[in-house]
Amino acid sequence: MTNLSSQPAANAQTPSTMDLVNKNLAKRYRAEKRFKAYGIAAILFGLACLVILFTDIVSKGHSAFLQTYVYLEVTYDADTLEIDDINNPQQIAIADYSALVKASLRQQFTDAKSRKERRNLYGLVSNGASFTLRESLEDNPALLNQTVGVWLLADDDVDTYYKSRGDDKADAFVGRLVPKQVAWIETWITNQQIKKRFNTTFFTSGDSREPEQAGILGAMAGSLFTLLVTIILSFPIGVAAAVYLEEYAPKNKLTDFIEVNINNLAAVPSIIFGLLGLAIFIGYFEMHRSLPLVGGLVLSLMTLPTIIISSRAAIKSVPPSIRDAALGLGASKMQVILHHVLPLSMPGMLTGAIIGFAQALGETAPLLMIGMVAFIVDIPGGISDPSTVLPVQIFLWSDSPERAFIERTSAAIMVLLAFLITMNTFAILLRNRLERRW
């Protein structure tokens, strides 16, 4: 570097500059590598959490899609059922079918002598089994006084035991089962009198205190009605508000105030909306608790800011040249909006709205406030029937002590996630279509 001597000022610095730079280089590159590693670690941490969360839910919940059934020889004994006229539907309806199950159980396991032992024995079969028997007799009255083999719903303790058993008896989760009950179940297993079938009950019935009879249909219907109310209210209002703010609103204090309000509302905790619903809709307007109508109203207010914000973004993305072109042809402002702006921004608005609705579908806290936590067995038929929703059902079940409810909770979560993922995927597809257009 001697040839640099012709540069008087640089001379003082240059030789030392490169030495200094080179001296520090290794250290600086180590810092660079470390920094990059932190970034990768952060991402891996996030992804790992996602994977752990999903595998945990699936591993806990997948077994709920199968349900244990027990094969029993049941005699439709007319005397036990107290049916003297097979053509009388009343008699068939009120007959005591659980007595048939009990008789069949006693017949198979004669070692159940004491009252307590017998009660344990009867406990192995779900009390839902009698409905199955009634239905089959209603369908086919000729069964009366016949003996047939039927697959009956097992109790949740049996279900848990059988599912956790695997090949080795020692692995099984015994729980509340007494040794004698375990012995009986083992007899069934040896006789191949027990098997797992697809759990249709889970998808076709409402809530129940008995895990083996509990299903999510009621909660799904409740979610559907609640979401319907939310969609019908929040989408048109949200779009209208967005149109006003983007196309009409003058730049003044009122508009600023509305904007600030909307942005703030979007970040207000959801439980506050629950308090609003409780105080206004239930306290002031005296609506009933647990209604999808009220839930939908609350969720609409909660979703509205999200929809307004995304709709505004969609309207903003319509090029001004299109408005100018329409205005130049003599169209009025309303015509420009209805004929051009709205159709062009609709995919964007729908994308934002669907994401908002997915959030509403997964929301729990505000619905707890307005009483959608009640234990409701019946499947709601409309927006004014008391009901619960899927996330609240998950919350309720997760609190239940029975082990069989854990797998059902996880299964319900899987169903909920499936809905959410479908909705979000749809939104993403819509967004991609939109992006291709401009």
Partner 1 sequence: MNTSMLLVIAIIMMAMAFFLGRKRAITVAGGNHGIRNLNSLPGYYGTLSALWCGIPSLLILALWVIFDDYIIIQIIIQELPTSSQALSESELGLLLNTVANIALNNSSTLVAEPFIIEAADRLNGLKSISQMALSVVILCVAMGLALFSWLRVNTQLKARVKVENVFKIVLLLCASIAVFTTAGIVFSVIFESIKFFQSVPFFDFVFGLQWSPQMAIRADQIGGSGAFGAVPLFAGTMLISVIAMIIAVPAGLMAAIYLSEYASPKVRTIVKPALEVLAGVPTVVYGFFAALTVAPYLRDTGSMFGLSVSSESALAAGLVMGVMIIPFISSLSDDVINAVPQSLRDGSLGLGATHSETIKQVIIPAALPGIVGGILLAVSRAIGETMIVVMAAGLAANLTANPLESVTTVTVQIVTLLVGDQEFNSPKTLSAFALGLMLFLITLALNSIALMVVKKYREQYE
Partner 2 sequence: MNENDPQISQDITNLITVGNAFSEHAKMSMRNVNVFYADKQAIHDVSLDIGKNEVVAMIGPSGCGKSTFLRCMNRMNDTIDSCRIEGDFRLEEDDIYHPNQDVVALRARVGIVFQKPNPFPKSIYDNVAYGPKVHGLASSKTDLDEIVETSLVRAGLWNEVKDRLTAAGTGLSGGQQQRLCIARTIAVGPEVILMDEPCSALDPIATAKIEELIAELSQNFTIAIVTHSMQQAARVSQRTAYFHMGKLIEVNDTKKVFTNPEHELTEAYITGRFG
Q: Which of residues 22-41 bind partner 2 (CB under 8 A)?
A: 22-25, 28
What is the C-alpha to C-alpha distance for residues 268 and 244, in angstroms, rounded to an integer? Answer: 23
What is the C-alpha to C-alpha distance for residues 16 and 137, in angstroms, rounded to an integer? Answer: 100
What is the C-alpha to C-alpha distance for residues 281 and 386, in angstroms, rounded to an integer? Answer: 15
341 is a contact residue toward partner 1 (CB under 8 A)? no
17 binds, among partner 1, partner 2, none (CB under 5 to 8 A by kind): partner 2
Give the residues across from 94 on adjacent strands: none
- Which parts of 273-292 interact with partner 1 (CB under 8 A)? 273, 275-276, 278-280, 283
Least distance (Å) from partner 1 to the CB of residue 152?
30
Give the DSSP letter string of 180-202: HHHHHHHHHHHTT-EEEEE-HHH
Q: Which long-range contacts (CB under 8 A, 24 or more apart) does 141-146 make?
A: 141/86, 141/87, 141/92, 143/76, 144/76, 144/78, 144/81, 144/83, 144/86, 145/75, 145/76, 145/77, 145/78, 146/75, 146/76
What is the C-alpha to C-alpha distance for residues 185 and 105, in angstroms, rounded to an integer? Answer: 12
235 binds, among partner 2, partner 1, none (CB under 5 to 8 A by kind): none
407, 64 Cβ separation under 8 angstroms: yes
Least distance (Å) from partner 1 to the CB of residue 220?
15
Q: Using CB under 8 A, count the residues that bind partner 2.
A: 19
Q: Among 7, 16, 36, 316, indicate the residue that binds partner 1 (CB under 8 A).
A: 36
- Which among 74-82, 166-174, 200-208, 408-416 is the span making contact with partner 1, rule CB under 8 A? 408-416
Secondary structure letter of residue 2 according to DSSP: G
18 binds, among partner 1, partner 2, none (CB under 5 to 8 A by kind): partner 2
Q: Which two tokens stand for residue 385?
A: 């029937």
What is the C-alpha to C-alpha distance for residues 43 and 262, in angstroms, rounded to an integer? Answer: 32
261 is a contact residue toward partner 1 (CB under 8 A)? yes
Could you tell me how far CA 201 lies from the centroid of its own chain? 17
Q: Using CB under 8 A, count the residues that bind partner 1.
A: 86
- Which parts of 155-184 interact with partner 1 (CB under 8 A)? none
x/- string (CB under 8 A) for partner 1, residues 308-337?
x-----------------------xxx---
268 is a contact residue toward partner 1 (CB under 8 A)? yes
121 binds, among partner 2, partner 1, none (CB under 5 to 8 A by kind): none
418 is a contact residue toward partner 1 (CB under 8 A)? no
3-state secondary structure at position 67: strand
86 is a contact residue toward partner 1 (CB under 8 A)? no
- Which among 4-12, 50-58, 193-201, 234-242 is the span making contact with partner 2, rule CB under 8 A? 4-12
Binding region for partner 2 (CB under 8 A): 3-4, 6-10, 13-14, 16-18, 20-25, 28
